[in-house]
Amino acid sequence: MLSGIWMLFLLLTACGSSSTEEEPQTPQKPKEKSVLKIYLFAPESPIITRANTGSVDAVAAEKEIHTIDVWVFEHESPNKKVSYIHLNDVSFSGQKVITMDISDEFANLAQKPRVDIYVAANKESCGLNALDGNTTLTQLKEACIGSANFGINPLQSEVPTTGLPMSGLLENQIISGIAPVYTATDNNVKLVRAVSKEQFVFSKSTNGAPTITNLSISLDANVLPKQEYLFLEGVYPTYKSHVKLTGTDDYETAATLVQNNAPDIKSCDDPAAYIYTSETGQAYEDKINTGISENKLSRLGQFYFRESDSQLTGTISYTLGTSPNTTNKSKPFTMAAAGDFTRNHTWIVYGYFLGSGELILNIVNVKDWTTDSENPEVYNW
C-alpha cells in the first residue's frame, strides 16, 4: 500500500516538473526595411546673372535648394507608385543620395520592373505646393507653373526665398542591388532650373555720349505663355519646349519691364569692350558683373521668366538730349528664334551709346543646351 502511494507521489512530482520547465527562446532579429537609392545631381557652379552685392552671394542664391520631392513609378504600369519622399532643408550641390522606403511586395519581386523617376526641387516657389505623396503620374505630367509665377505679372527680379524651381526626370531605369538595399540606376537625375533669365545692361562712352532719359523696356504681346509644365517630356538633350497650350488665350499680353527710368547710365572709355566675343557663358557673365562692380556698366533689370515656344521680342525706348532739344528714340530687340527661350537659358541685351547717341545692341544667348555627359557641371546649367 505504501509503495503504491509512493509511486503516485513520484508520478505527480514528475508531471509538475515537466509543466514548469520551458525551452529557452532565441530572440528574433527584426526584418530590415527594404529601401531604394536615388542619385541626384545639382551643379556646384551655376552660371550667375548678377554681381555679388553686399551680403548676397550670387552663386549661393542661384543654386540654393530648400526642398526635394521624389516620385518613383513603374515604367510599364505608370499608375503603380513605387515610392515617394519629401525632404526639407536639404541644401546641397554636386551629387546627393536619396534613400526611399519601398514595399515588401515590390522588394520581393524576383524581376524588378523598370521605373520612372520624377524629382522637383523648390516646388513651393512656383505654386505647386499641393504635389505630394497622393499625386498621380498623370497629375505630375500635367503640373504647370501658372500665370502668377515667373511671368510678367508680377515680375520676378530676385531669387525667391524658397529658391528657384527645378526639376529632373529619368525614365525607363533599371533597378539593381541586393536585398534590402536597391538602386534605381547608376545615373544621376540632373536638376534643371525651370525658369530662364533675361537681363538688360547699358553703358555710354565718356567721349561725347548725350544725356539719356525716360528709358523704358517692354516685351511684345504674346511672347510668354501663361503657364508651362514643370517637367519636361523625354530627355533633356532632345528638348526644345514644353509649354502648356490649351486654347486661344494662352499667352500673356505685352509687359513693361522698365518704365520711364531716368537711369544714371555709367560711362566708360570703351563700351564696346563689353560686347560678347567667343568666351564661355560664365566668362561673359563675369565680364559683365565686373563692369557693374567697377561702375562702368548699369543693369536696369534682370528677370526670371517661364520658358516660351514663341519668339521673344520687345522694344527699348529712350529720350536723347536735354529740354528743349530732345529726341525720342526706340530700338527693337529679338532674343531668339521661336522655341529657343527655354528653361535654364540666360539671355543678355547689352546696349551702349557712343558719340552719335544711337543705341547699339549686342544680344547674347549666354548658355546653350549641351549633351556633355562627361562634365555634369555644364550639363544644361
35-193 against 196-378: fold identical: yes
User: For 255-263, what is the mean pLDDT?
Assistant: 83
- The per-residue pLDDT for 30 is 57
- For 201, counting Cβ atoms within 10 Å of its Cβ (0-12 exposed, 13-18 middle, 19+ buried), the class is buried
Average pLDDT over residues 132-145: 95
Least confident segment among 17-26, 316-325, 334-343: 17-26
Q: How far apart are CA 176 and CA 9, in angstroms?
A: 67
User: What per-residue confidence (pLDDT) applies to 365?
Assistant: 59
- Per-domain residue ranges of the chain: 35-193, 196-378
As a whole number of angstroms, the distance between CA 61 and CA 140 comes to 26
pLDDT in tens, 62-91: 788 999 999 999 999 988 999 999 999 887
Q: What φ, ψ does residue 245 adopt, rounded to 5°? A: -120, 120
String of DSSP letters for 227-288: -EESSPSS-GGG----B---SS--B---EEEEEEE-----EES-GGGGS--S--HHHHHHHH
* Amino acid 378: pLDDT: 41
Of the CA atoms within 13 Å of residue 5, those in its CB half-sphere come to 2
Lowest average pLDDT, out of 196-200, 214-218, 292-296, goes to: 196-200
Q: Encode burial over 78-104: b for 16+ CB neighbours within 10 A, e otherwise.
A: eeebbbbbeeeeeeebeebebebebee
User: Do residues 192 and 343 make contact, with C-beta atoms less than 8 angstroms apart?
Assistant: yes
Class of domain 196-378: mainly beta
Average pLDDT over residues 274-302: 84
Task: Fold for 35-193, please state it.
Answer: Immunoglobulin-like (2.60.40)
CB distance 198 to 302 below 8 Å: yes
CB 126 within 8 A of CB 143: no
pLDDT, mean of residues 358-364: 80
Please, what is the average pLDDT of the chain?
Answer: 81
Q: Over 70: is that where the pLDDT of 239 sits? A: no
Q: What percent of the chain has pLDDT over 70?
A: 80
